[in-house]
Structures are given as C-alpha cells and as structure tokens.
C-alpha cells in the first residue's frame, strides 16, 4: 500500500513542509491538506463524532464528511475541511476529536457501547433527574461528542464587499465558462464566481472530456479565461464560495484571501461578498454520492470521482490497486485513467447486469485481465483502522479480496442546494435517480449537471437555449469524450449484510455517525416524516449537510415507507451551503467597532478624576467618582449623596435626550403626545411630563421647556431619545399629517450640567456674576437664555435630587471650559462631581421614579399617583382613553409606595418580593401570596437607614401597614412599613428655597 | 434579505427599513366616545394573515418616511408600495398572485421543495 506521485500540470514543483499531529511531511505548493496527507500515505486523519471510529479522507472537495482538522498555525481554526484547505510552508495541523492520540483514542469505547447510542439517544438518555443536565450530561457530552476546539485569542480581520450586477454565474466549470463566454463584451455586468483557486471544474478534476473545439481541456480553459479577463464587463472571483441564495437574488459569497498562503495578520483574511443581481446562473455541477455497506466508513473507502480528482488535479495516486465499486457508467473514466498510468485495479464491481454495462468497460477489463464482477455488490470491508479486506457478493457467492482502498460511486446528484435555497422547486428524475431543478421562484437558471443534464453533447444547445433571453451570440462547443455520452445507472442505496456485529456498521451519515439501522429504528418509533426523522436521528445535520448521503437516506426511507421519493420529499435546504465562519459575518464589527461608544465633552475630565463608568445605551456615563484608591462603590455613593445634600454636587447630564419641536401646530402636537396640558403654560417655563403608549402605559418622561406655542424643547431619558423622536415622527406622518410641526434631535448640540445642593445658588452667582438667581427673578421650573463669553447658554431651574438645582445647557465646544470654571468657583463651597448611582439614590430619597426601574411597560401614571400630570380636560392625548379601561383603572393594580424597614439595620434589596409571611417555609409546596416587588433599594446616608420604592398591589390604600420583604439567601424575611415614597422634604421646601 | 422600494428613495436593502405592522388602522378621532371593546380592538388587535397583507414600513435608516406596502407574507414578495396619503389599493389588481384562500402559492413559500 503506497501512493505514487504522478506528473501533474496543476501542481507546482516547489516542495514545502507541513506538520500533522507534530510530525513533519513534505508536499507541494498547490496541495490541499488531504492531497498532501495522501501523498505521504496517511489515511487515518480523524475520529468520528459519536462513536470515535477511525476515519479517513472520503472525498476531494467541499462535500467531505470526515476529514476535518484543526489548523494550529491559523489561530487554532477548527473543523477545517482538509479536502479544500490549501497548504503553505510551515502549516501546523492536528487531528480532532481524539484523546490521548489519534491511533489510541479513549472515546472509541463509545463504539463498543454503540447499542445505547442509537437514534434519539440524546432525547431518551439525558432525561432527569433535575439538575443532571446542567451539571453532568451537558459537560460530558460537550467533552466526548463534537469536533474541534474553539480558537483562542482570536481577532479576525475580515471585510465585507457589496456588488450590484446583472448576472452572477456560480461555478466556473465547463458550463460556467461556456455561459460566461456568451457575455463577453456585452452590456451585461457579470460576476463569475469560482470556489476553487482556478477555473475548469470537471475538466481539471477528471479524465471525462478529451477535447473541446479541437483543443485539450487545459488549452480551452486558458483560451476562455483569457477572453473573459479581456472583457471589461466580467469579473472573476476565485477562492470564493457562494454560501447563501436569499430572496430577491441576494447572494452571499465568502472569499478566502489567503488560499494556499500564510495569513498576514495585518491584512483582511476573508471577504464576505454581498451581491445583488438581476439574474443568477447556477453552474456549480454535481456531487457524487456514496453507497451504504458494512463498514463503509473505514479509512481507505473513497468516492471514485474523488480518487480520480486526486490523480488528475494533484498528481497523487492514493493506491495503485484499488477495488472499484459502482452502479453507473461514469466510473469508466477512473478505470481508463488508472490503466493509462500502468495501474491495475484489484477488481471492478458493477451492480448493473452484464448486458447493461458499456462494451468499452467490458473490453478494457477483459484486455487487462482485471477481475470483473457484474450484477454484484460490496458486502462490506474489514480491517484495523484501515481497509484490509473487501468482501464482494455476486449472487450467493462471496469473494474476499485483499486491498487497502475501495473506490465507490453511487451516482451523482445535481448540486441543487442553492437552487432550493432560492425557493425553487425540484423534481425527481428517474433517469439519473436524483432530484433536479424544475420551477425557479426567482430569476434563476441552472445549466449542465446542476440542471440534471449529464449529457455533454447536449450542453451547448442547453446553454444557447436557456440563455437566449439575453440575446447574445451563440456559443459552440464540440466536445469529445472519454466516457460514454449516455449516463446509465442502476438503483442501489445499501447492500445486503452477511452478518451482524456491534462493531460493523452501515453508515448513512458519516459526519454525525448515523447508520441505516438508525433510520429504520426512527421510522419504527413513528418518526416517519422526513423533517422529524432528520432531527431525531441527526441525519444530514452535520457541517457537510449530508452532501454525499442525504438523497440516499430519502431513498432508503421511501423504500421502508413504500412511497415514492417525491412523496417523501426533501428536508429544507437552508443556508449556508458550507460552514461560514462568524468572523466573516461579523466583518469589522468586532471589539471596539461592535457598537459605537458615545462620550460627552467632559469625558476627559471624568477620566482624570477617577470616574468609574456605566454604559447607558451607547453612552459612557460616570457611575461614581473614586475619592481614593481604596474607596468602594458603596462608600463613594454614600459620600457623594451626603456631600450633595450638605453642600452641592454636579452631574454631567449631557447624555439626556433633547428634541426640538417647532412649527405652527407645535402646541397642539405636544398636547397630543404628552399627558400634561401645555396650553396654559407660560412661555419660558418648564414642566415634568410623561409620554404614554396607546395602551396607557408610561413610555418615557422628561422636562418640557416651552419657549412659545410654536417652539418647545423636550428632554427624554438618555436611552429613550431615539425611540421618542421616532414615535413623534410616526404620529406626525401617519396620524396627523395636517399638523405643521418639525422635529429635530439636538441631544449632541448641548452639554448639560445638573448642579444641585443647598450651596448651589452661591456657586452659580460666582460663576455667572451678572445673572440674578434670586427666587423672584428665577423661580423653580423656569428657564432663561444668556450670553456667555462668545457663546449663548440656557439655564433652567430644575432638580432631580430634591435640592435647589439648576441645569445649564451650553454648546459642547465650550462645555469643558465652563465645567472647569464651575469647579474652580465651587471649590470653596465643597462642590463635588457625582455619578449616576448617586443620582439614583438621591431621587429615590425624594420619591422620584426612573423609567425602566419603577416602570416596566405595565405601569400607568395613576399607578404612580401622578394623577396631577394628566391633563384631564384635554379632549385627547396618546393613551388617554386606555386610562379608563376597566383593567387600567382597577383599584388593586400594583402601585408605587415607599418602604421603610422596622428594624433600621435591615437592608432592603432591589428586586425582592413583598409577602405577608415573616418567614419562608424551608420547602415551598404551595405558591406564596405575592404582593409586589421592590423596584429601588438604597441605603440612605441622609436618613441613615435602608429605604425602598416598591410596586405593590393596591399599595395606595396600604399606607402604615406592615409587610415583609424577602432577602437573598435567607428564609427569614425583613419586616417593613409601607410609607409615602417621598422620604425627604415632602413639602418641597428645598426645591423652591 | 429582501429589497424594498421606498416611494421616496427607490430600491434599498431591507436592513434600512423597519416594519410597522398592519396598515390602514386609523386612530379613532374621538377615543372617549368609543366603547371599551372598540378601543381595545384598536389598541390590541391586528391581522396577521398568511398571504396578502397591507402593512406599514418606515425607511428608518434613510429618509425616515413612513409608507405602505402590500406584501405576500408567504413568499415575502412585495407587490406594491404606496405613500401614506394614497388610497388603499384594490386587491383585484393582484388577482393572479392569489392562488388559494390560505395564500399558499405553488412556489416560493419555502414550505415544500419538491414539485407535486
Ligand atoms: Zn426613503
């Protein structure tokens, strides 16, 4: 058993070295991993998914179910198809799914235990007891089943590219090139996409075609490629695989920029092409299928056309004396190729009757004295980690031959994957025993073997006819063949077994280790619908999607069910056609580019002053400021909160959403959008307002500044701004197009500072000496515009802390300068910066709600006791009618209350339940009556005990009553009293001071 | 990924748009005069047919304009787009695309792939 290196024009003479499982091997530039391994007589390359059976190289292309390897030298890339991945000097490769080594794999015990791993094994075995899945089964399965290991420390640099074209041709084989020829120098913008690194397809993979138009295949390819390259309207994409065919002729293709080359870490390694086209021509050919027999998975079993491709494309003859097993006429080309190289197959086994076998085949076999078995089949093969003996059944007699390789051909399937993704309908063709494209749903044309046309002589007419809609010149193809022009095949999906053993298996899905027995068992258990059967057995659900076997399984199932294959139908073909790495899909949207970070104009100051940041939407907001290295968050927030109520604090509120509302009907519009009544509001005053959904539930809140009846500025929550603007726009366009109103987002046009605390007025007077901040001149909830240095500012008297406070709006360009000015003036008053956590604590002390904390989309203003905000006299506003719906006006809805612990040392935690029991039972048997939940919980430094805001059923009528709050990790509950949610300054004396 | 023809900008990728649910649901002029049931129907009830559907779209990452479209929900084919101000097009325009009461077309729904 040894491979021979043959002359090959497609392989370079440059010798390079690779390592596989730590050993170094020589190969040539242009080799794939598979051809390099075969060149070095390596047949065993991996262990199977479930049973850990030894597996080899089964195919020579994208359809490979077994030979998946891990590329150590490419950030540990797992599950790489050895049959398509091109090597380069120094490439490091390891096998997968084996421990401790490929030859001695511990997991192989699964093969002996295989009776328990049959169809539905996962569903049947890993049921209960509770907790076993998470703690035992899942980790166990993850370790023993599966494929390669995920990459580590991996940072991909892939890019996306967009195309708009008139015609996309998928596959540059014989039909693809001939089709492209029709568009040379025409008005059509054409993309010709080839998965391989060069054009030619079947012409380079096999011996089937002798000459085209009097030229050798290679001459014809070169001539055609030259013509295409010189035609400005056609672009060729090589090393590019079309994986997805979406609706409206939207294609996704993946280009490997480093095929056969070591990845340059500074360059994009993958390009994801997103293509819109008017027409799609699919010419990606066909895929050979296998036949199920006993131990059809042993290393050494290979598809016949793949064996031929290794000889033709890579100059590797994997074995000089293989056994050939076929049910169709196409294997003649392999036979001829071997003979021409002086090799002699051990035997030729054809399941067809002698009379149906082509005379040419019979003549060669006779002349060369090759053992010939017609009307025969392979019963099975045996050997230790490789094929050693092959058993042939002919009638009742068995012949056992020694050979290390078995070439199998079970016929060809048109590659209908992309066609069905495009939602076209396929039809069963009895002549080729396969599905072929029938009715396209989109503008899709299939040509050549993709369309089920296996007749080379008819190809030219097919192309000219199907592409006649484009009104271009006809192409001519005069093809001379090495194989019979007429394709002949005999139905054969699985051969009969002589004896049964646990070790011997007849596989239908090599990737996922599904046997033909599993199919039968699943049907017996009632899974007779093909989609159910697929999921129950995991048949054709591997990364190869059953490319060489799924039609076989449909045929076997239809035989068991005694139905026509077309009745059984196919499972749905879903994108991608072949695995598409997440790195390619993500493109540049990774790490810091995944989502933009928005920073305020004060950000650099926050950094310098030890701010710890919190993400609010895309915004980075200071959460709290560390006064010293060792200060904890709790300490910082307590300090900030106390200092503010004693002196003053300032918050960077620039992230608050700001929307400008202008126009003739601005007042009417605002009255419709918000609950509040704005008609009687005086110009240059502001008001806290709420926006509801039509269901009456609170959506957002903010302060509305009225400049005039025709001009308002609304602030929104930091994360709600885009949605509020979009909602306003929607109503304006769809419901009230008669209103003349213009909206503008001005969030980023202003830096906003919220300064508050008892010393605020003194600080403000020092910063702005020309402005009168007295109560009479500048009352609560009013605002004014001022000139400040070379810009203009707006100051509003408002507060979210409950203390005397102002909001300053200034163009961001001048923001930092003013912020620093405020600090230098505020130094003598002990002004501190504070973050969002302190803001939340202070507003909770004051009983102010936060959207998304107290509210959750099920809370109305009435539930919050904010009836004063509802403009009852207004005829209409969004959500008004819903407030009087029976469910919305129920008395026992969850309502906002305050919680105060009876034992002042107890801590009320956010998110805890409020119950009637002082202690929870050790084992909870019956549901415990639930009254509500704690929506906000803080330790108040100003009251010196824990406080809570809570949403409790019928809470308004429960003031003064005692209940209990659950606590993390304890069965003993915390006794609390229901109190008014305003803990500090209920008379608003501080606000208006 | 479908292509949608914005009536203002032309054909654009689906990712530029947001769907706004059923079209031609008009907000009542006098909500207070409606019964709880009628108001509830307006707020909570929408059609979700298989087949022809009149729906709203907004070109949210483009001109931000709202418009209406008629889409066959079983195939995702958009049969017509029209401005909000335009009248609801008559179904008889699309007679040929309505094959069965359920709206299941002979090709394109993705529910079966083999020709019967
Ligand atoms: Zn638009």
Q: What is the CATH number of the domain that holds B31?
A: 3.30.2270.10
- Report how many Cβ contacts below 8 Å link chain A to chain B: 90
**Chain A residues touching residue B116 (CB < 8 angstroms):** 566
Rg (CA), chain B: 16
Report yes or no on B9 lying in a domain.
yes
Identify the DSSP state of A680: T
pLDDT band at A9 (very low <50, low <70, confident <90, very high): confident
Tokens 């997103």 belong to A274
More confident residue, A219 or A118: A219
> How confident is the model at residue A502, as a pLDDT?
63
Q: Which domain does B38 fall in, by range?
A: 3-93
**Chain B residues touching residue A427 (CB < 8 angstroms):** 114-115
CB contact under 8 A, B40 and A885: yes
Angle (CA) A379-A384-A387 rounded to 5° is 45
CA distance A162 to A246: 15
CB contact under 8 A, A426 and B113: yes
Same-domain status, A263 and A396: no
Identify the DSSP state of A116: G
Show Cβ contacts of residue A146 under 8 Å, excluding neighbours closer than 6 positions. A49, A97
Cβ atoms A783, A711 nearer than 8 A = no
Number of domains present in the structure of chain A: 6
Helix (H) or strand (E) holding A643: helix A633-646
For residue A126, pLDDT over 60 is answered with: no
Cα of A852 vs its chain's centroid, Å: 28
pLDDT digits (tens, 9 = 90+) for A631-673: 999 999 999 999 999 999 999 999 999 999 999 999 999 999 9
Q: Is B93 on the interface with A (CB under 8 A)?
A: no
Identify the DSSP state of B106: S
Report yes or no on B87 lying in a domain.
yes
CB contact under 8 A, A441 and B1: no
Cβ atoms B47, B53 nearer than 8 A = yes
Report yes or no on A104 lying in a domain.
yes
Same-domain status, A669 and A642: no
For residue A134, pLDDT over 80 is answered with: no
pLDDT band at A135 (very low <50, low <70, confident <90, very high): low
pLDDT digits (tens, 9 = 90+) for A736-778: 999 999 999 999 999 999 999 999 999 999 999 999 999 999 9
Same-domain status, A221 and A197: yes
Q: Is A157 on the interface with B (CB under 8 A)?
A: no
* Average pLDDT rounded to a whole number, residues A210-228: 96
Report yes or no on A534 lying in a domain.
no
**Chain A residues touching residue B110 (CB < 8 angstroms):** 423, 572
Q: Is B73 on the interface with A (CB under 8 A)?
A: no
Same-domain status, A766 and A805: yes
Report yes or no on B109 lying in a domain.
no
Number of domains present in the structure of chain B: 1
* CA distances, A255 to each of A124, A160, A313, A340, A585 (Å): 42, 10, 21, 37, 12
More confident residue, A483 or A948: A948
What's the full length of chain B, in residues? 116
What's the full length of chain A, in residues? 993
- Percentage of residues in chain A having pLDDT higher than 90: 82
**Chain B residues touching residue A570 (CB < 8 angstroms):** 113-114
> How confident is the model at residue A883, as a pLDDT?
96
Which of B1, B64, B114 lies at the smallest CB-CB distance from A250?
Answer: B1
Beta bridge partners of B70: B54, B80
CB contact under 8 A, A424 and B20: no
pLDDT band at A210 (very low <50, low <70, confident <90, very high): very high
pLDDT digits (tens, 9 = 90+) for A877-909: 999 999 999 999 899 999 999 999 999 999 999
Among residues A436, A416, A414, A834, the alpha carbon closest in space to that of A633 is found at A834
For residue A604, pLDDT over 90 is answered with: yes
Q: Is A106 on the interface with B (CB under 8 A)?
A: no
Same-domain status, A769 and A712: no
For residue A959, pLDDT over 60 is answered with: yes
Report yes or no on A21 lying in a domain.
yes
> How confident is the model at residue A264, as a pLDDT?
87
pLDDT band at A56 (very low <50, low <70, confident <90, very high): very high
Report yes or no on B101 lying in a domain.
no
For residue A926, pLDDT over 90 is answered with: no
For residue A143, pLDDT over 60 is answered with: no
> How confident is the model at residue A524, as a pLDDT?
93
Cα of A4 vs its chain's centroid, Å: 44
Q: What is the mean pLDDT of chain A?
A: 92
Cα of A823 vs its chain's centroid, Å: 48
Q: Is A537 helix (H, G, I), strand (E, B) or coil?
A: helix
For residue A572, pLDDT over 90 is answered with: no
Report yes or no on A871 lying in a domain.
no
CA distance A558 to B77: 34
Beta bridge partners of B6: B10
Identify the DSSP state of A137: I
Q: Is the dihedral of CA B79, B81, B86, B88 positive or negative?
A: positive
Same-domain status, A815 and A935: no
Same-domain status, A58 and A108: yes
> How confident is the model at residue A13, as a pLDDT?
84
Among residues A23, A19, A34, the alpha carbon closest in space to that of A72 is found at A19
* Nearest residue in chain A measured CA to CA from B68: A734
pLDDT band at A806 (very low <50, low <70, confident <90, very high): very high
pLDDT digits (tens, 9 = 90+) for B58-95: 999 999 999 999 998 888 889 999 999 999 998 777 76
Report yes or no on A515 lying in a domain.
no
For residue A681, pLDDT over 70 is answered with: yes
For residue A695, pLDDT over 90 is answered with: yes
Q: Of A444, A734, A873, which to mutate for an interface test with B (greatest number of B Cβ within 10 Å)?
A: A734
- Ligand 1 being an ion, which residues bring their Cβ within 5 A of it? B 6, 8-9, 59, 62-63
Q: Is A826 helix (H, G, I), strand (E, B) or coil?
A: helix
Cβ atoms A341, A496 nearer than 8 A = no
Cα(B17) to centroid of ligand 1, in Å? 9
Cα(B82) to centroid of ligand 1, in Å? 12
CB contact under 8 A, B3 and A880: no
Between A94-108, A147-161, A731-745, A817-831, the lowest mean confidence (pLDDT) is in: A94-108
Distance from CA of A369 to the nearest CA of B (A): 45
CA distance A877 to A867: 15
* CA distances, A781 to each of A649, A681, A690, A777, A806 (Å): 19, 11, 16, 12, 9
Report yes or no on B27 lying in a domain.
yes
> How confident is the model at residue A115, as a pLDDT?
63
Same-domain status, A639 and A783: yes
> How confident is the model at residue B28, as a pLDDT?
95
Identify the DSSP state of A928: P
For residue A720, pLDDT over 70 is answered with: yes
pLDDT band at B114 (very low <50, low <70, confident <90, very high): confident
Cβ atoms A450, A283 nearer than 8 A = yes
CB contact under 8 A, B115 and A876: no
**Chain B residues touching residue A573 (CB < 8 angstroms):** 113
Same-domain status, A20 and A33: yes
> pTM of this prediction?
0.89
CB contact under 8 A, B1 and A882: no
Same-domain status, A801 and A825: yes
Report yes or no on B104 lying in a domain.
no
> How confident is the model at residue A106, as a pLDDT?
67
Report yes or no on B78 lying in a domain.
yes
Same-domain status, A689 and A830: no
CATH code (residue A823): 3.30.1360.120
**Chain B residues touching residue A428 (CB < 8 angstroms):** 114
More confident residue, B104 or A627: A627
CA distance A294 to A391: 10
pLDDT digits (tens, 9 = 90+) for A451-489: 999 999 999 999 999 999 999 999 999 999 988 888 999
pLDDT digits (tens, 9 = 90+) for A326-357: 999 999 999 999 999 999 999 999 999 999 99
Report yes or no on A677 lying in a domain.
yes
Report yes or no on A828 lying in a domain.
yes
Looking only at the bridges linking them, the beta strands covering A831-833 and A46-47 are: unpaired
> How confident is the model at residue B112, as a pLDDT?
76
pLDDT band at A613 (very low <50, low <70, confident <90, very high): very high
Which of B26, B34, B107 lies at the smallest CB-CB distance from A881?
Answer: B34
Write the burial class of residue A471 (CB in 10 Å: 0-12 exposed, 13-18 middle, 19+ buried): exposed
Cα(B8) to centroid of ligand 1, in Å? 5
Distance from CA of B76 to the nearest CA of A (A): 8
Tokens 């029991």 belong to A917
CA distance A805 to A491: 87
> How confident is the model at residue A279, as a pLDDT?
97
Cβ atoms A290, A549 nearer than 8 A = yes
Distance from CA of B47 to the nearest CA of A (A): 18
Q: Which domain does A313 fall in, by range?
A: 308-352+359-403
**Chain B residues touching residue A733 (CB < 8 angstroms):** 65-66, 84
Report yes or no on A565 lying in a domain.
no
CATH code (residue A454): 3.50.50.60
The Cβ-side half-sphere exposure at A431, using a 13 Å CA radius, reads 7
CB contact under 8 A, A247 and B109: no
Same-domain status, A2 and A25: yes
* CA distances, A552 to each of A181, A295, A302, A663 (Å): 36, 16, 16, 70
Distance from CA of A696 to the nearest CA of B (A): 10
pLDDT digits (tens, 9 = 90+) for B35-63: 999 999 999 999 988 888 999 999 999 99
């Amino acid at each position: 058993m040894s491979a021979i290196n043959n002359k090959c024009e497609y392989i370079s003479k440059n010798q390079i070295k690779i390592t596989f499982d730590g050993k170094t091997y020589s190969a040539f530039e242009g080799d794939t991993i598979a051809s390099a391994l075969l060149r070095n007589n390596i047949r065993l390359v991996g262990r199977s998914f479930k049973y850990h059976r030894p597996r080899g190289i089964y195919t020579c292309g994208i359809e490979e179910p077994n030979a998946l390897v891990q590329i150590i030298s490419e950030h540990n890339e797992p599950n790489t198809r050895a049959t398509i991945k091109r090597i380069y000097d120094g490439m490091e490769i390891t096998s997968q799914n084996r421990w401790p080594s490929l030859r001695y794999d511990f997991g192989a015990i699964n093969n002996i235990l295989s009776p328990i791993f049959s169809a539905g094994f996962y569903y049947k075995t890993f049921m209960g007891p509770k907790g076993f899945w998470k703690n035992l089964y899942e980790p166990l399965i993850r370790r023993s089943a599966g494929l390669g290991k995920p990459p580590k420390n991996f940072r991909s640099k892939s890019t996306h590219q967009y195309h708009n074209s008139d015609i996309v041709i998928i596959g540059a084989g014989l039909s693809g090139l001939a089709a492209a020829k029709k568009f040379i120098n025409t008005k059509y913008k054409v993309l010709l996409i080839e998965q391989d690194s060069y054009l030619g397809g079947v012409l380079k993979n096999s011996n089937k075609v002798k000459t085209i138009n009097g030229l050798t295949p290679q001459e014809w390819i070169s001539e055609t490629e030259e013509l295409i390259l010189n035609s400005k309207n056609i672009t060729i994409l090589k090393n590019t695989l079309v994986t997805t065919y979406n609706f409206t002729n939207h294609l996704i293709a993946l280009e490997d920029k480093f095929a056969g080359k070591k990845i340059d870490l500074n360059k994009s390694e993958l390009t994801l092409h997103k293509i819109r086209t008017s027409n799609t021509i699919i010419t990606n050919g066909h895929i050979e299928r296998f036949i199920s027999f006993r131990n059809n998975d042993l290393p050494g079993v290979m598809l016949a056309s793949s064996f031929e491709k290794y000889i033709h494309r890579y100059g590797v003859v994997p074995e000089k004396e293989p056994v050939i097993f076929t049910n169709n006429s196409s294997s003649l080309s392999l036979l001829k190729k071997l003979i021409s190289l002086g090799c002699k197959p051990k035997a030729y086994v054809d399941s067809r009757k002698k009379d149906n076998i082509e005379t040419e085949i019979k003549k060669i076999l006779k002349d060369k004295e090759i053992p010939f078995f017609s009307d025969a089949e392979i019963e099975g093969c045996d050997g230790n980690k490789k094929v050693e003996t092959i058993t042939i059944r002919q009638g009742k007699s068995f012949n056992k031959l020694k050979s290390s390789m078995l070439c199998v051909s079970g016929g060809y399937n048109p590659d209908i994957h992309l066609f069905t993704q495009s939602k076209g309908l396929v039809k069963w063709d009895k002549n080729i025993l396969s599905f072929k494209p029938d009715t396209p749903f989109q503008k899709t044309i299939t040509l050549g073997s993709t369309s089920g046309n296996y007749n080379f002589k008819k190809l030219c007419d097919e192309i000219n006819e199907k592409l006649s809609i484009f009104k271009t010149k006809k192409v001519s193809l005069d093809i001379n063949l090495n194989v019979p022009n007429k394709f002949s095949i005999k139905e054969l999906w699985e051969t009969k077994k002589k004896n049964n053993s646990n070790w011997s298996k007849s596989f239908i899905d090599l990737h996922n280790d599904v046997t033909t027995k599993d199919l039968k068992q699943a049907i017996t258990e009632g899974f007779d619908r093909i989609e159910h059967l697929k999921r129950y057995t995991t048949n054709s659900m591997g990364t190869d999607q059953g490319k060489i076997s799924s039609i076989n399984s449909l045929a076997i199932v239809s035989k068991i069910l005694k139905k026509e294959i077309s009745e059984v139908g196919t499972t749905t073909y879903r994108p991608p056609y072949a695995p598409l790495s997440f790195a390619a899909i993500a493109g540049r949207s990774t790490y810091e580019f995944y989502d933009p970070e928005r920073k305020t104009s004060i950000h650099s100051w926050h950094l310098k002053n030890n701010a710890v940041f919190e993400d609010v939407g895309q915004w980075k907001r200071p959460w709290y400021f560390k006064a010293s290295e060792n200060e904890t968050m709790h300490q910082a927030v307590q300090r900030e909160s106390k200092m503010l109520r004693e002196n003053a604090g300032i918050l960077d509120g620039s992230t608050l959403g700001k929307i400008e509302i202008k126009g003739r009907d601005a007042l009417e519009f605002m009255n419709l959008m918000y609950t509040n009544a704005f008609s009687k509001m005086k110009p240059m005053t502001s008001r806290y307002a709420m926006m509801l959904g039509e269901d009456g539930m609170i959506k957002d809140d903010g302060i509305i500044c009225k400049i005039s009846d025709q001009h308002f500025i609304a602030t929104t929550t930091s994360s709600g701004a885009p949605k509020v603007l979009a909602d306003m726009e929607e109503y304006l366009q769809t419901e009230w197009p008669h209103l003349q109103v213009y909206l503008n987002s001005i969030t980023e046009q202003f830096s906003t500072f919220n300064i508050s605390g008892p010393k605020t007025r003194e600080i403000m007077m020092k910063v702005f000496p020309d402005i009168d901040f007295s109560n009479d001149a500048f009352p609560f909830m009013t605002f004014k515009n001022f000139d400040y240095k070379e810009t203009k500012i707006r100051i509003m008297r408002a507060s979210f802390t409950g203390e005397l406070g102002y909001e300053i709006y200034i163009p961001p360009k001048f923001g930092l300068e003013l912020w620093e000015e405020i600090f230098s003036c505020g130094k003598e008053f002990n002004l501190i910066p504070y973050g969002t956590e302190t803001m939340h604590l202070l507003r909770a002390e004051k009983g102010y709600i936060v959207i998304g904390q107290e509210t959750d989309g099920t809370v109305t203003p009435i539930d919050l006791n904010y009836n004063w905000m509802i403009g009852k006299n207004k005829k209409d506003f969004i959500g008004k009618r819903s407030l009087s719906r029976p469910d919305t006006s129920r008395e026992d809805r969850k309502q906002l209350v305050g919680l105060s612990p009876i034992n002042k040392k107890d801590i009320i935690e956010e998110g805890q339940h409020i119950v009637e029991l002082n202690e929870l039972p050790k084992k909870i048997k019956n549901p415990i009556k639930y009254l509500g939940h704690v929506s906000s919980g803080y330790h108040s430094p100003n009251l010196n005990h824990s406080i809570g805001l809570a949403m409790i059923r019928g809470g308004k009528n429960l003031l003064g009553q005692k209940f209990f709050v659950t606590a993390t990790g304890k069965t003993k509950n915390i006794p609390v009293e229901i109190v008014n949610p305003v803990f500090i300054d209920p008379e608003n004396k501080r606000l208006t001071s | 990924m479908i292509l949608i023809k914005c009536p203002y900008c032309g054909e654009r990728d689906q990712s530029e748009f947001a769907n706004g649910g059923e079209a031609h649901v008009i907000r009542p002029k006098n909500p207070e005069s409606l019964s709880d049931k009628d108001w509830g129907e307006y707020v909570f009830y929408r059609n979700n047919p298989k087949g022809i559907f009149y729906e709203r779209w907004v070109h949210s990452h483009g001109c931000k304009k709202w418009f209406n479209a008629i889409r066959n929900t079983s195939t995702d084919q958009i049969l017509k787009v029209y401005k909000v101000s335009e009248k609801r097009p008559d179904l008889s325009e699309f007679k040929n695309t309505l094959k069965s009461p359920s709206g299941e077309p002979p090709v394109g729904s993705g529910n079966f792939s083999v020709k019967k």
